[in-house]
């Protein structure tokens, strides 16, 4: 009897011991920024984070943070998360993986209109109603906005903030809604945003890459996109790079589902 009680107590004690905790991968993502990410997990960066966490045998934990300017300083660099998908491959201050896609800014029109316009030097740009995406009010703006400003094409240009209206389910849609409704003749939009609108609103817009990868050597129109980790986290970076290589086919299929326009070689 005493032996049975002892065995029972040992079994209960074993059950009460905490199991080794699974590794947690903290990923900073925007809670409302489709096609990239949202709180419901509907973006392609949500899906990429799930893939990476799965292959790392880690539990995925999203840290929701609006991806406005300065967000890397407040999130990744501050230790709030372990990685951030969707960062420029050449961004300073963090370590970046090999690119998992390369895209460019798009010329967006209504179908059948302005199909021959492909240069920032086209004289028609001086009179067309043009939409551009803006990042801030301190001169740090998207390359197409700078290209137009360098040519003194400003009076007929309307700006739309990249962050958009967070009260809406698709905050970056305003510029494309204005084009589709006829309020604009032409818009310059980052490729994944334009492609996702095309998926959801077939026939409403037509897109094509801005001609040339550069307007001038300091003004690229196409960018490599990577996963960012903190500087010094070499082990995580190495493992993420290995996953991106091994899962190349799955990542390409994921990007295709969102109609992300790809530019040149990665």
Locate 19 and state its tokens: 């199991």
Identify which of 250, 238, 251, 209 has the alpha carbon closest to the alpha carbon of residue 104: 209
Residue 92 sits in a domain whose CATH number is 3.40.190.10
Strand ranges inside the chain, DSSP E = 24-29, 32-33, 37-38, 59-64, 83-88, 95-96, 101-109, 130-134, 157-161, 186-190, 206-209, 214-216, 219-220, 222-229
Evaluate if residue 50 carries a pLDDT over 60: yes
Q: What is the pLDDT of residues 168-226, one digit of tens each?
A: 889 999 999 999 999 999 999 999 999 999 999 999 999 999 976 556 667 899 999 99
Query: Do both 87 and 113 map to the same domain?
Result: no
What confidence tier does 54 reach under pLDDT thresholds 50, 70, 90?
Answer: very high
Residue identified by tokens 């698709």 is 170
Query: Do both 32 and 94 map to the same domain?
Result: yes
Task: Name every residue whose Cβ is closer than 8 Å to that of residue 222 and which is 6 or more positions away in sequence.
Answer: 102, 103, 104, 105, 209, 213, 263, 264
Query: Do both 184 and 227 map to the same domain?
Result: no
Question: Other C-beta atoms within 10 Å of 238: how many?
Answer: 12
Q: What is the pLDDT of residues 80-92, one digit of tens each?
A: 999 999 999 999 9
Query: Do both 81 and 118 map to the same domain?
Result: no
Number of domains in the chain: 2
35 cis-preceded (ω within 30 degrees of 0): yes
Residue 138: CA count within 13 A, CB half-sphere: 1
Q: What is the pLDDT of residues 247-266, one digit of tens each?
A: 999 999 999 999 999 987 54
Given the DSSP bridges, would you call strands 206-209 and 59-64 parallel, antiparallel or unpaired?
unpaired
Beta bridge partners of 106: 189, 209
Residue span of the structural domain in which 139 resides: 103-220
Evaluate if residue 41 carries a pLDDT over 70: yes
pTM for this predicted structure = 0.87
Query: Do both 65 and 195 map to the same domain?
Result: no
């Amino acid at each position: 009897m005493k032996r049975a009680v002892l065995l029972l107590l040992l079994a209960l004690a074993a059950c009460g011991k905490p199991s080794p905790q699974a590794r947690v991968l903290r990923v900073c993502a925007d809670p409302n920024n489709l096609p990239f990410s949202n709180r419901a997990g509907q973006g392609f960066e949500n899906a990429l984070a799930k893939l990476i966490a799965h292959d790392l045998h880690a539990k995925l934990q999203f840290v929701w943070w609006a991806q406005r300017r300065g967000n890397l300083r407040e999130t990744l660099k501050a230790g709030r998360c372990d990685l951030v998908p969707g960062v420029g491959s050449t961004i300073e201050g963090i370590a970046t993986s090999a690119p998992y896609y390369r895209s460019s800014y798009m010329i967006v029109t209504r179908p059948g209109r302005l199909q021959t316009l492909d240069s920032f030097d086209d004289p028609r740009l001086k009179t067309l109603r043009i939409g551009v995406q803006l990042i801030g009010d301190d001169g740090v703006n998207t390359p197409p906005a700078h290209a137009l400003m360098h040519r003194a094409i400003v009076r007929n240009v309307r700006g739309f903030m990249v962050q958009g209206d967070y009260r809406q389910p698709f905050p970056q849609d305003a510029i494309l809604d204005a084009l589709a409704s006829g309020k604009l003749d032409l818009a310059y939009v980052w490729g994944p945003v334009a492609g996702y609108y095309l998926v959801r609103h077939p026939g409403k817009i037509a897109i094509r890459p801005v001609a040339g990868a550069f307007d001038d050597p300091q003004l690229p129109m196409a960018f490599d996109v990577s996963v960012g980790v903190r500087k010094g986290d070499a082990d995580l970076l190495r493992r993420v790079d290995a996953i991106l290589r091994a899962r190349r086919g799955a990542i390409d299929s994921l990007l295709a589902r969102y109609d992300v326009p790809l530019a040149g070689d990665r």
